Structure 1
Amino acid sequence: MRAALPTRLAHIYRLGVKELWSLLRDPAMLVLIAYTFSLSIYVAATAMPESLHSAAIAIVDLDGSPLSARIAAGFYPPHFKTPSLVDAARGDAGLDNGDYTFVLAIPPGYQRDTLAGRAPAIQLNVDATRMSQAFTGNGYIQQIVADEVGDFVRRRQPAAAPPVALALRMRFNPNLEQAWFGSLMEIINNVTMLSIILTGAALIREREHGTIEHLLVMPVTPGEIMLAKIWSMGLVVVLAALAALVFIVQGALQVPVRGSVALFVLVAALHLFATTSMGIFLATLARSMPQFGMLMVLVLLPLQMLSGGTTPRESMPALVQDLMLTAPTTHFVAAGQAILYRGAGIDVVWPQMLAIAAIGAALFAGALRRFRRTIAQMA
């Protein structure tokens, strides 16, 4: 005879409390949660390798003209350190010693040749062992030199006004701050990762400690056991993500959040229903934590790399775009970015919420079926 609804809810609640107590007795998991939603987010926001920050540059000015001085003044923090004015020998030695990443050599007569329309060349020497800065800085330097030379020539030789004037406005991130993107995307990615790990580890821990056998003799159903793990581990992840959003992102990093935090938490809760079910399904396939870790690598990397958080989905092959529509992370990333970056409301993100709920229901049904089969084999 089926238990009454209040009794079933009581079972789910008490089993969930048991999961929380088990988590409190696992110091490794507590350290992982603390690191994932604190230092990990701060590092992802402030140490992005593709950004150019405080690059060392030296300038060999053999022209000594107002134009060459203007070019030298175009390099300043935060992208570059204040340029060092050196001779050619010191510039080469500085590259050899690793003192400079870039050495810009301005030849004699550069201003004269530029004003005469002879298009003189400037030599840029780059330390390519610093790969990320070398690649990004090369583009920055070309743009800075082109802008300074173009402005100088226009002042000396006024040209006709262009037929179209482009008015550029940066929305949502006016200063193009890398930390604004990195910190919020790290929270979105970590919600997925930690929810799968916590629920999967909770089930494997039950099996390794032998407590799953105790549950089999209790008047509880597999569905109640699953729901208990889902709400308890989901609650931990939601509270950790909310704390990170308030204290790390808005507090330590001073990143503005445009939209409703409550709406983001609601979308995250729907997403957690899907990912925690996924974690339970993976745990029924694995026999130990090492096996579970290997399955995590195979599942988590595609989810994070192909969901649109790292690379825009529009740049992916059409087959990958269509395939990733079946993943909850794709819709969670789209909804999270819309809420946190652009201040979208529920009238904008309801299609993503509906998709996450549908995918979560399918994952829950599949995980429950697999979980029942696993318990039947143990009985």
Structure 2
Amino acid sequence: MRSSDDIAIRRVVVWWRRLAVMTRKDLLQLFRDIPLMGFLVYSFTFSVYVTGNGLQTQLRNAGLLVYDADRSASSRELIHRFHAPYFRVDGELVRPEEGFERLDQGGSMLVLDIPARFHESLAAGEPVALQLLVDTTNAPQGLSAAGYATRIVRQFDLEAAITTIGLAAAPSTDLPMIVSDHRVWYNQDQNETWFESISHLLRMITIFAMLLPAAALVREKERGTVEQLLVSPLTPLQIMLPKVLAMTLVILGATAVALFGVMLPVFGVPIRGSIILFFSLTALFVVATAGMGVFAATITRNQAQVGMMTLLVVAPMLLLSGITTPLEAMPDWVQYLMALSPLRYFIEIAHGILLKGTGLDVFWKQVLAMAGLGGSLFGFGMWRFRRQFR
């Protein structure tokens, strides 16, 4: 009985020793790949900084041109309300036809046309038609600018109407009004760099979680060493698992550099939840995505094909999983399709831990879904690997 136990223990020790040796080998091979390591370092440092610091989706300093045919106190007051941070008055036009010409040339996004007798019509309580030309070449920014401009004009019109009917001097308590009291949670300053830097970090984790294991396996195929490994005492699992483990360790290290070297000191991104939980679930996501990398490696012959396959698979994941556009704004069939993407659940988990401080009691369903998908994808990749080299 003791001898059988000793044999079982020795087998376990040998299995783990082989795993450690193969993991060390794959780490050394990756570190010797200077171009890939350079791309990795750039993606988790400078790229995160540039994206978080330079990519802004909110409206800021939209150029406004004004044609003021009235030149009254009311028109000047209205123009004065178009100020920073949303608008920037680029100047006044001499002719109303200049508005189209300047929009065609670019540089300004809006043209406000104030007609003659603007002040007189307001004082008399008569309707006034203002013209607002908006360049919607960049549709989200253009529509946002039009919305802010419409809000400014409506507020100005409301105040002018109150003044006209003689309610300006009345106590505010005598006027019926709706008070809108809103509270901003988790990001009180509405700092967009927090969201953009975290989102870009998730993009890089996704790309390299698929690219690195696939590149490691294809590198073995290019050099002809994968056949040598298969005729060795190693099992297919002992060949593939060290590659996934090694690349997971590298990605976790790169994530730590991005988080503690760029996002925390430069952008002030908070870490409100458990950092251990974040890295544990990041490792789970990397393993889940690595299954797709293993599958990609079985249908490609060189590293150039791996890069193209990674782009083909990862690009739809990044666009449709909710990083760029809210998942709720997509068609129903896209939402159902993205239920098969581990990234969909990892986005909610990462933002929840870092920005909201939530834990497993909140997103345990997402963790189970990601783990189930990860096991299925990795199992499918292993099946393809065994079938190819059987």
Q: Which stretch shows the higher mean deviation, 135-144 or 340-349?
A: 135-144
Q: Confirm or deny that 1:158 pairs with 2:200.
A: no
Query: For residues 124 and 330 of structure 1, what CA distance do their matches in structure 2 show?
Result: 40
Partner of 1:79: 86
Displacement of 1:309: 2.3
Q: Confirm or deny that 1:44 pairs with 2:58.
A: no
Displacement of 1:207: 0.7
Shift of the 98–313 alpha-carbon distance from structure 1 to 2, 3 Å rule, reads closer
Displacement of 1:200: 0.5
1:158 is matched by which residue type in structure 2? L
Displacement of 1:260: 3.0
Q: Of 122, 125, 139, which residue of structure 1 is paired with 2:133?
A: 125
Question: Residue deviations 1:164-223, cap 9 Å, x none?
Answer: 432122222334443232221111122111110011011101111222133224322111
1:298 is matched by which residue type in structure 2? L
Partner of 1:138: 146
Q: Of 174, 177, 196, which residue of structure 2 is paired with 1:182?
A: 196
Q: Which stretch shows the higher mean deviation, 81-90 or 8-17?
A: 81-90
Displacement of 1:279: 0.7
Q: 5+ unaligned residues in a row in structure 1: which ranges?
A: none
Displacement of 1:258: 3.5
Q: Which stretch shows the higher mean deviation, 155-164 or 259-268?
A: 155-164
Shift of the 263–91 alpha-carbon distance from structure 1 to 2, 3 Å rule, reads farther
Displacement of 1:281: 1.6
Paired residues in the alignment total 376
Partner of 2:40: 33
Q: Which stretch shows the higher mean deviation, 289-298 or 263-272?
A: 289-298
1:293 is matched by which residue type in structure 2? G
Q: Which stretch shows the higher mean deviation, 3-12 or 50-59?
A: 50-59
Query: For residues 304 and 276 of structure 2, what CA distance do their matches in structure 1 show?
Result: 36
Matches for 1:240-319 after TM superposition, within 5 Å: 240-319=254-333
Q: Confirm or deny that 1:324 pairs with 2:338.
A: yes
Q: Confirm or deny that 1:112 pairs with 2:126.
A: no
Question: Residue deviations 1:34-63, cap 9 Å, x none?
Answer: 222223333433444743233222223333
User: Secondary structure at the residue paired with 1:88?
Assistant: coil
Q: Confirm or deny that 1:192 pairs with 2:206.
A: yes
The structure having more radius of gyration, on CA atoms, is 2
Displacement of 1:234: 0.8
Query: For residues 300 and 73 of structure 1, what CA distance do their matches in structure 2 show?
Result: 47
Contact 2:272 2:357 (C-alpha < 8 Å) held by counterparts: yes
Q: 5+ unaligned residues in a row in structure 2: which ranges?
A: 1-6, 169-173
Q: Which stretch shows the higher mean deviation, 350-359 or 152-161?
A: 152-161
Q: Which stretch shows the higher mean deviation, 239-248 or 90-99?
A: 90-99
Partner of 1:6: 13
Displacement of 1:233: 0.4
Query: For residues 114 and 187 of structure 2, what CA distance do their matches in structure 1 show?
Result: 35
- Structure 2-normalised TM-score? 0.86
- Structure 1-normalised TM-score? 0.88
Query: For residues 19 and 371 of structure 1, what CA distance do their matches in structure 2 show?
Result: 18
Q: Confirm or deny that 1:210 pairs with 2:219.
A: no
User: Secondary structure at the residue paired with 1:119?
Assistant: coil
Percent identity of paired positions between Structure 1 and Structure 2: 34
Query: For residues 217 and 16 of structure 1, what CA distance do their matches in structure 2 show?
Result: 18
Matches for 1:351-362 after TM superposition, within 5 Å: 351-362=365-376
Displacement of 1:90: 10
Displacement of 1:375: 2.5
Query: For residues 137 and 24 of structure 2, what CA distance do their matches in structure 1 show?
Result: 53
Shift of the 250–24 alpha-carbon distance from structure 1 to 2, 3 Å rule, reads same
Displacement of 1:89: 6.9
Displacement of 1:274: 0.6
User: Secondary structure at the residue paired with 1:56?
Assistant: strand
Q: Which stretch shows the higher mean deviation, 77-86 or 176-185?
A: 77-86
1:51 is matched by which residue type in structure 2? Q
1:253 is matched by which residue type in structure 2? F
Question: Residue deviations 1:238-258, cap 9 Å, x none?
Answer: 111222122222222333343
Q: Which stretch shows the higher mean deviation, 252-261 or 115-124?
A: 252-261
Shift of the 330–134 alpha-carbon distance from structure 1 to 2, 3 Å rule, reads closer
2:157 is matched by which residue type in structure 1? V
Q: Which stretch shows the higher mean deviation, 248-257 or 350-359?
A: 248-257
Partner of 1:169: 183
1:197 is matched by which residue type in structure 2? L
User: Secondary structure at the residue paired with 2:128?
Assistant: coil
Contact 1:328 1:359 (C-alpha < 8 Å) held by counterparts: yes
Aligned-residue CA RMSD in angstroms? 2.7
Displacement of 1:23: 1.1
Partner of 2:67: 60
User: After the TM superposition, which segments of 4 or more aligned residues of structure 1 sit over 6 Å from their partners?
Assistant: none
Contact 2:206 2:343 (C-alpha < 8 Å) held by counterparts: yes
User: Secondary structure at the residue paired with 2:67?
Assistant: strand
Contact 2:96 2:113 (C-alpha < 8 Å) held by counterparts: no
